[in-house]
Amino acid sequence: MTVVLAPAPSAVITGRRLRVMLVDDAVVVRGLFARWVEAEPDLQVVASLRTGREAVDQLERADPDVVVLDVEMPEMDGIAALPLLLAKKRDLVVIMASTLTRRNAEISLKALSLGATDYIPKPATNREVTTSATFRRELIEKIRQLGSRSKRPVPAPVVPAAPAVPGAAVPHVASPPLAPKPVAAALARDILPRDLAIKLRPFQIATPRILIIGSSTGGPQALTAMVEHLGAVLDRAPVLITQHMPPTFTTILAEHLARASGRPAREAQDGEEVNAGTIYVAPGGKHMRVVRKNGTATILLDDGALINFCKPAVDPLFASAAEVWGQWVMAVVLTGMGSDGSRGAQAIVAAGGSGVAQDEATSVVWGMPGQTAATGACSAVLPLPEIAPKIVRLFSGDRT
């Protein structure tokens, strides 16, 4: 099968700079963020405020595209201000910012369920904020990607032009191509060639026995929605997840997934056996792999270098799963920035497994799933609500 893919739009859709509101009670942090934002040619600061109350009061005047909203502030904190901001501007992109504490992690994930677009964990001290090039890169990239995403038209879903026949090429069509526009070099890996045709491969004949998932921006919401509908798959297969998240956040995510799925879900532990009926989440700050020890699939955690700017990264999990389980693996790549997971997905299909990617229309950012689809490693590109039902059918032996 072949998908004719419309190009991902550039970082600046409207021809004007993205308007950014900064809300943080620390004057040093506000000043630093403002300098970083103003240094970018496609971004501008339209307000720099101390409290959530000020943000709510000045939202209509400032008319931002993106708000970077601190969690802890006097008068009105971020979680109280969030619904008021969204009530005034429904398409507002809100990025929650907080230090790495359990309380703040819980608040940030709750904010996602209340309509925040994403979160960014701040280093523990102002000095670390000032000196962290990684944090600066992540903040600017999130502002640019998420702000641009909210301004572009929602693409039409990828739909088949004819019934799928195993081994046959079936054309698909996506949304009409957009005119190319300038884009920051830092985002080049999220831009797909204008005339790219994605080939979808048939699903493998072998019924999958292992489910592995990679996700990033927008992932917590997507994962929660997905595991709610996996049903019996969760009882007869292990599920391994790498979500780009720092420590503490992954602990809270696992707890949320346990509640949503009604099944055991926890951060993976180094050296533990992989068993059906459990959801394993890669802990923040560690890459998760699987190895075979004495004939048993076992979790291996490592504190190595960043991969694809991330730790944990999706590629190590996918590549190691391909080596351990081969044709029994079903890989899913959900919403996220960058290209993490694309190389690992290729390893999975080379070993006889299958891959599915979330479509652009339902992704917060179509970087990871789009890049994975572009490699030819996918057998389907689906809207989020269709992924879990498809997986249930595949794990039941259905290939339709």
Q: How far apart are CA 80 and CA 89, in angstroms?
A: 15
Instruction: Find all residues with CB under 8 Å of 179, minimum gap 6, and list them.
Output: none
Write out the H or E segment, with its range, that includes residue 242: strand 239-243
Residue holding tokens 């809207």? 383
Strand partners, 121: 98
- 217 in helix, strand or coil? coil
DSSP 390: H
Beta strands in 247-327 (DSSP E): 265-267, 279-281, 287-293, 296-302
Q: How far apart are CA 254 and CA 257, in angstroms?
A: 5
DSSP 178: P
> Burial, 133: exposed, middle or buried (Cβ in 10 Å; 0-12, 13-18, 19+)?
exposed
- 280 in helix, strand or coil? strand
Strand partners, 23: 49, 69
Residue holding tokens 């799925």? 261
Task: Give buried/exposed letters for 337-353 (b at 16+ CB in 10 A, else e).
Answer: bbbbbbbbbbbbbebeb
Q: How far apart are CA 47 and CA 60, in angstroms?
A: 11
- What the block records as the tokens of 9 is 């739009």
Beta strands in 65-218 (DSSP E): 66-70, 93-99, 118-122, 159-160, 171-173, 197-199, 210-215
> Burial, 6: exposed, middle or buried (Cβ in 10 Å; 0-12, 13-18, 19+)?
buried
Catalytic residues: 216, 244, 340
- What the block records as the tokens of 230 is 């996996």
Q: How far apart are CA 253 and CA 372, in angstroms?
A: 24
Contact 285, 245 (CB under 8 A): no
